[in-house]
């Protein structure tokens, strides 16, 4: 039960994008088309889940026993960068079309602040190994969900008669704000 | 001391571990690329100007290997690069024509009339949006140098409110053509012996054209009448030179009362 609540908390109530305003660059950059947005979401979920697992192991088996708390940041960067590099190779091999669609945003997962935030949050919240993985996975799925919603609305927007001063980035940011307002409705649902 | 040692060992160990995993992954997920792509990429200028119609030089090289693009599509490299690529691909290439930018306006500052004061953004694009800003002629060169900014090869310099094109540096990539909000620049074949071009784009009637600019075509039609080869014809308010008939005699340029017909590549503002 607790696991499910943790998942829902990370995905909906404390959504990384709309609650903490993290990972805004892919949120605005790759949400033009649903396919690439969802692909980006899953790629980020993959990195988040694995980061959560690996960071937990590194934190609790290497860094904390040796009192190397100051190396947390370095370790997180190392893990995230390696994972993204791996993911990039994998996607380039398995789907060149997707690789081209994601473009620069794929290597930019490295600097996605939501993943770094996740890596730093895990020791702060004191999660155990399973909880960390669920937390990472939930955060990733929340990110994917928001990317999907945003891309869906933006695709519909192509046919809408947007006033000229609001076209492009302006209407996208208004959309993001409204979405964040809507997600505020989840506040208080789960007290985690 | 001990702390530093432990930090170095743990981080170094982690780094080495990840590097090892990545190197294995790199071998496993290696993508077989056609070696021709790399070879062609070495020959290409590498300016990523987009003149060939592809996003980057690499993109273009990949398309050539796939057979989607022709080997002489690189306008920047011209003849030599086309030959090199053809050698790599094992095909023969026809003669490529060198094309350069040509500006269809020759009114310098002082020759074009002003209708207002303009204190706004000094860019052609911005000036064109507000009805050409201070320029009275609605077809002429605004003179803020958007083309100069767009040129990747330093071939355009603004001289007295008009772009001057250095034909030796111009590669015909067409970035300036896209940059000009008034569509005054076109790409023209250079390697003919003599050819004459109309250096005015005004579609105003003669009277109005005369009022707004000293270097405008006033649609008098003299060029059409004097042409011995039936190559020059009036179309709307501007003459049009039919290159199939034109023998390059230059009578039209001599007789033009406004001097808007010029020989390409030899006049003072288009240095060769």
Q: What six digits make up the tokens of B208?
A: 């109005």
pLDDT above 50 for B143 = yes
Nearest residue in chain A measured CA to CA from B55 = A100
- What was the ipTM of the complex prediction? 0.79
Cα–Cα dist A83/A48, whole Å: 9
C-alpha–C-alpha distance, residues A147 and B88, integer Å: 45
The two most distant CA atoms of chain B are separated, in Å, by 97
Encoded tokens for A73: 């940041």
Chain B residue numbers touching A69 (CB-CB < 8 A): none
Q: How confident is the model at residue B101 (pLDDT cuts 50, 70, 90)?
A: confident
DSSP 8-state class, residue A162:
-
The predicted structure's pLDDT at residue B128 = 86
Q: Give me the percent of chain A exceeding a pLDDT of 70.
A: 99
**Cβ <8 Å between A82 and B22:** yes
CB B160 within 8 Å of CB B135: no
Which of B5, B9, B10, B34 has the most A C-beta neighbours within 10 Å, making it the best mutation to test the interface with A?
A: B10
Spatial distance between the Cα atoms of A81 and A189, rounded to a whole number of angstroms: 35
Distances (CA, A) of B266 to B170, B184, B194, B262: 15, 19, 9, 9
CB contact under 8 A, B29 and A92: yes
pLDDT of residue A45: 93
Task: For residues B140 and B103, give the distance between their C-alpha atoms in angstroms, rounded to a whole number.
Answer: 10
* Cα–Cα distance measured from residue B165 to residue B186, given in angstroms and rounded to the nearest whole number: 12
pLDDT at B208 over 80: yes
pLDDT, tens digit, 9 for 90 and up, residues B186-202: 888 775 566 788 888 88
Sole residue written with tokens 């290497």: A62
Helix H or strand E encompassing B239? strand B238-241
Best mutation target, B1, B8, B11, B23, to test chain A (most A CBs within 10 A): B11
Tell me, rounded to whole angstroms, the distance of Cα B77 from its chain centroid: 14
Q: Which residue has the higher pLDDT, B131 or A61?
A: A61
pTM over 0.80: no
Interchain contact B2–A (C-beta under 8 A): no
Residue of A nearest to B10 (CA): A62
- Partners of B102 in the β-ladder: B186
Q: A89 and B29 in contact by Cβ < 8 A?
A: yes
| CB environment B128-152: b (16+ within 10 A), e (fewer) | beeebbbbbbbbbbbbbbbbbebbb
Any chain B CB within 8 A of the CB of A74? yes
Task: Test A68 with B21 for CB contact under 8 angstroms.
Answer: no
Say yes or no to pLDDT of A138 above 80.
yes
Please tell me which residue of chain A has the smallest CA distance to B9.
A62
Out of A66, A68, A78, the one facing B15 most closely (by C-beta) is: A78
Count CA atoms within 13 Å of residue A121 on its CB side.
19
Q: 3-state DSSP call for residue B189?
A: strand
Residue with tokens 């204190």: B119
CB pairs under 8 A between A and B: 40
Dihedral pair phi/psi, residue A87, rounded to 5°: -60, -40
Task: Flag whether pLDDT at B269 surpasses 60.
Answer: no
CB atoms within 10 A of CB B28: 10
Q: Is A79 on the interface with B (CB under 8 A)?
A: yes
- Inter-chain contact B10–A62, Cβ cutoff 8 Å? yes
Q: Which residues contact A2 (CB under 8 A, 6 or more apart)?
A: none
Contact B200, B260 (CB under 8 A): yes
Q: How far is residue B145's CA from residue B162's CA, in Å, rounded to a whole number?
A: 8
How many Å lie between the alpha carbon of B26 and the closest alpha carbon of chain A?
A: 7
Question: Around B13, how many Cα atoms within 13 Å sit in the side-chain half-sphere?
Answer: 9
pLDDT-derived band at B271, boundaries 50, 70, 90: very low
- The residue in chain B having the minimum alpha-carbon distance to the alpha carbon of residue A55 is B14
| Nearest CA among B199, B86, B110, B101 for reference residue B160 | B110
pLDDT at A137: 95
pLDDT value at A149 more than 50 = yes
* Residue of chain B nearest A93, judged by CA positions: B29
Q: Which of A149, A122, A142, A124 is nearest to A9 (CA)?
A: A142
**Angstrom distance (rounded) from CA A87 to CA A36:** 15
- Hey, which of A57-61, B127-131, B202-206, B234-238 has the most confident mean pLDDT? A57-61
Task: State the smallest CA–CA distance between residue A146 and chain B in angstroms.
Answer: 30
* Structural contact between residues B51 and B74, judged by C-beta atoms closer than 8 angstroms: yes
Nearest-by-Cβ selection for A68 from B10, B22, B25:
B10
Beta bridge partners of B101: B187
Structure tokens at A166: 């609001």
CB–CB of B7 and A71 under 8 A? yes
Which of A66, A85, A90 minimises the CB distance to B10? A66
**Residue of chain A minimizing CA distance to B20:** A82
Q: Is A181 helix (H, G, I), strand (E, B) or coil?
A: helix
> Is the CB of residue B6 less than 8 Å away from at least one CB of chain A?
yes
Chain A residues near residue B31 by CB distance under 8 angstroms: 92-93
HSE (side-chain half, CA atoms, 13 Å) at B73: 19
Least confident of A125-134, A171-180, B92-101: B92-101
For the segment B7-55, what is each residue's pLDDT rounded down to a tens digit? Answer: 999 899 999 999 999 999 888 887 777 788 888 888 888 777 777 778 7
Tell whether B14 is within 8 A of chain A (Cβ).
yes
What pLDDT shows up at residue B267? 47
Query: What 8-state DSSP symbol labels residue B113?
Result: P
Pick the residue from chain B with its C-alpha nearest to A65: B6
Tell me the average pLDDT across B135-163. 87
């Amino acid at each position: 039960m607790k696991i499910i609540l943790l998942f829902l908390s990370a995905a909906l109530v404390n959504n990384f994008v709309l609650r903490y305003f993290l990972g805004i660059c892919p949120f605005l950059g790759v949400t033009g088309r649903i396919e690439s947005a969802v692909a980006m979401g899953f790629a980020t979920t993959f990195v988040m889940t694995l980061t959560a697992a690996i960071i937990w192991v590194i934190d609790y088996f290497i860094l904390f026993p040796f009192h190397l708390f100051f190396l947390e940041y370095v370790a997180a960067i190392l893990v995230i960068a390696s994972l993204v590099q791996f993911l990039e190779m994998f996607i380039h091999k398995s789907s060149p079309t997707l690789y081209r669609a994601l473009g620069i945003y794929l290597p930019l997962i490295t600097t996605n602040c939501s993943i770094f935030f996740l890596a730093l949050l895990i020791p702060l919240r004191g999660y155990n190994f399973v909880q960390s993985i669920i937390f990472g996975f939930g955060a990733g799925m929340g990110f994917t969900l928001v990317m999907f919603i945003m891309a869906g609305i933006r695709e519909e927007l192509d046919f809408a008669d947007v006033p000229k001063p609001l076209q492009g980035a302006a209407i996208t940011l208004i959309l993001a704000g409204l979405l964040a307002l809507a997600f505020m409705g989840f506040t208080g649902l789960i007290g985690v | 001391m001990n702390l530093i040692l432990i930090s170095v060992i743990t981080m170094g160990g982690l780094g080495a571990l990840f590097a090892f995993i990545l190197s294995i992954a790199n071998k496993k997920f290696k993508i077989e690329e056609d070696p021709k792509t790399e070879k062609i990429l070495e020959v290409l200028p590498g300016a990523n100007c987009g003149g060939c119609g592809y996003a980057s030089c690499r993109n273009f090289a990949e398309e050539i290997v796939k057979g989607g693009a022709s080997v002489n599509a690189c306008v920047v490299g011209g003849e030599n690069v086309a030959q090199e690529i053809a050698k790599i691909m094992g095909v023969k290439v026809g003669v490529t024509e060198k094309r350069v930018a040509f500006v269809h306006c020759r009114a310098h500052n002082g020759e074009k009339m002003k209708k207002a004061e303009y204190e706004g953004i000094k860019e052609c694009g911005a000036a064109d949006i507000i009805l050409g800003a201070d320029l009275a002629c609605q077809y002429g060169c605004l003179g803020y140098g958007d083309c100069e900014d767009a040129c990747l090869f330093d071939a355009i310099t603004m001289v007295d409110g008009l772009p001057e094109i250095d034909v030796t540096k111009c590669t015909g990539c067409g970035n300036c053509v896209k940059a000009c909000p008034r569509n005054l620049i076109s790409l023209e074949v250079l390697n003919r012996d003599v050819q004459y071009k109309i250096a005015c784009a005004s579609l105003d009637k003669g009277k109005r054209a005369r009022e707004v600019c000293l270097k405008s075509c006033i649609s008098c039609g003299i060029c059409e009448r004097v042409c011995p080869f039936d190559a020059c014809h009036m179309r709307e308010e501007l003459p049009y030179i039919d290159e199939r008939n034109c023998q390059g005699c230059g009578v039209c340029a001599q007789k033009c009362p406004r001097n808007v017909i010029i020989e390409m590549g030899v006049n003072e503002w288009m240095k060769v």
